[in-house]
Amino acid sequence: MADPKGFLKTRERELPPRRPVSLRLMDWKEVYEQQESGELRRQAGRCMQCGIPFCHQGCPLGNLIPEWNDLMHRGEGRLAIERLHATNNFPEFTGTLCPAPCESSCVLGINQPAVTIKQVEVSIVDQAFERGWVQPHPPQRLTGKTVAVVGSGPAGLAAAQQLTRAGHTVAVYERDDRIGGLLRYGIPEFKMEKSRLDQRLNQMIAEGTRFRAGVEIGKDIAWDELRRRYDAVVVATGALVPRDLPIPGRDLDGIHYAMEYLVQANKAVAGDDVPGQITAEDRHVVVIGGGDTGADCVGTAHRQGAASVTNLAIGRQPPATRSDSQPWPMSPTVFEVSTSHEEGGHREFLASTVEFVDDGNGRVQSLRVAETEYLDGRRVPRAGTERLIPADLVLLAMGFTGPEQDDLAGQLGVPFDQRGNLSRDDRFQTSEPGVFVAGDAGRGQSLIVWAIAEGRSVAAEVDAYLEGRTELPAPVRPT
């Protein structure tokens, strides 16, 4: 440990500067600048190297956080990336997109703001890519076994990289025209630039993973045909069914699911022609949903030139600071304003939409909204508080209910569980031998760090199924 008093010398939690709002609204580049190396080392040096590091408990991947904090503090970036990659295939994804449950668990958070674990993580991997330290790791030998991974989001990619490195011949199928799943088309560039995804895919291609974009399993290739072609199949198709808001006026024009909107926006930013694109330009936009996807819609609408943006959340406004009566660590992100909300617009909390109002031509004109109150343990509209909010574009960002009930069940006989997710045993395997499920398709909507952890774990189970033994790590079990 380089400096046991680092957390006493540097008491302030410092993140890198955000680019000025006026500049970043003119492009789609990431919001954060690189952190100056001296400040980064000071921040990493705030880690107390706890004997029992609770940050481990908070991280489904079991990231070796105190080890690489210490290495970064001492300027040992090359060793730091090795320790980071030991537990996490894609630290650039978690370092930009994860809400960092490790920081909520950081012991330093009891007395001071938590260590900037996520920032240290992304800085380690950025430096490693810049300096050429991230190299392909092709397998030493091939097993002769084949695996199909269906879905190219974080769970599918993690499973594919682990299995390829174990010597299996792996093909990743993606129904969209580009590889990456939600990382490609669900997340805006200003949260994570696609170059991060592409540089990792290049590494995977060099290791031998094969990618098949534009192929929909169940339609272009039947599930049972895929099962016959491969020795094992990993289903990592995500939980993409959006939660709806079935209230009067829901069928009016101008009301869309957030993911319809974000996918089209990402395709346009990638240079694609998107006929009939849903755009916020010159529109009064209302985003319903106070989570990350809602914030992504808000930031995208600002960049498209919306006339106004209002974000409705049914929950309470987060506190600006931790109260004295709450002594435990809390996620710093609770207190930090999201970059999208910093860019403008208006937020309303405890707001429930009760009706979409017609403009007389079948298009939404406004939302009838009420304040909410608790009744019998549920949040319900409070009588007498209704009012109208003008809107000619409404985006529904209220989360996802589960995986699509596609042809998988019919063609392979794989059932769904009571929560609507694909059913699997404690080894990630479905009722069909050799067919495994990983990520949101089995767990339900969750964090990117859980998806990567599930991808690593399912790879271990597939490897054991194919070889009778495995040395691959399995950081998590199915719920």
- Positions in the binding site for ligand SF4 (CB under 6 A): 47-50, 53-55, 65-66, 69, 106-108, 115, 117
Contacts of 442 (CB under 8 A, 6+ apart): 235, 421, 422, 424, 428, 454, 478
Closest approach of ligand SF4 to the CB of residue 222, in Å: 48
Q: Quote the CA–CA distance of 210 and 170 in Å, as a whole number.
A: 6
Closest approach of ligand SF4 to the CB of residue 322, in Å: 16
- For ligand SF4, the closer CB: 109 or 218: 109
- For ligand SF4, the closer CB: 75 or 291: 75
Residue type, 176: D
The alpha carbon of residue 362 and the mean position of all alpha carbons in its chain are separated, in whole angstroms, by: 35
Closest approach of ligand SF4 to the CB of residue 124, in Å: 14
Beta strands in 301-407 (DSSP E): 308-312, 346-348, 351-358, 364-375, 378-381, 387-390, 393-396, 400-402
Q: Quote the CA–CA distance of 319 and 113 in Å, as a whole number.
A: 15
Closest approach of ligand SF4 to the CB of residue 336, in Å: 17
- For ligand SF4, the closer CB: 50 or 270: 50
Closest approach of ligand SF4 to the CB of residue 252, in Å: 49
DSSP state, residue 110: G
Tell me the C-alpha to C-alpha distance, in Å, between residue 365 and each of 11, 284, 328, 357, 360.
50, 9, 45, 6, 9
- For ligand SF4, the closer CB: 117 or 306: 117
- For ligand SF4, the closer CB: 329 or 455: 329
Structure tokens at 109: 């958070």
Closest approach of ligand SF4 to the CB of residue 78, in Å: 21
Closest approach of ligand SF4 to the CB of residue 37, in Å: 20
Closest approach of ligand SF4 to the CB of residue 113, in Å: 11
Burial of 56 (0-12, 13-18, 19+ CB in 10 A): middle
- For ligand SF4, the closer CB: 65 or 298: 65
Q: Give φ, ψ of 287 to 5 degrees.
A: -105, 120
Closest approach of ligand SF4 to the CB of residue 45, in Å: 10
- For ligand SF4, the closer CB: 59 or 157: 59
Q: Quote the CA–CA distance of 242 and 33 in Å, as a whole number.
A: 33
Looking at 348-446, list the stretches that DSSP marks H as alpha helix, in order from N- to C-terminal side: 407-412, 440-443
DSSP state, residue 109: G
Q: What is the three-class DSSP state of 426? A: coil
Q: Quote the CA–CA distance of 331 and 98 in Å, as a whole number.
A: 12
- For ligand SF4, the closer CB: 115 or 163: 115
CB 351 within 8 A of CB 372: yes
- For ligand SF4, the closer CB: 48 or 280: 48
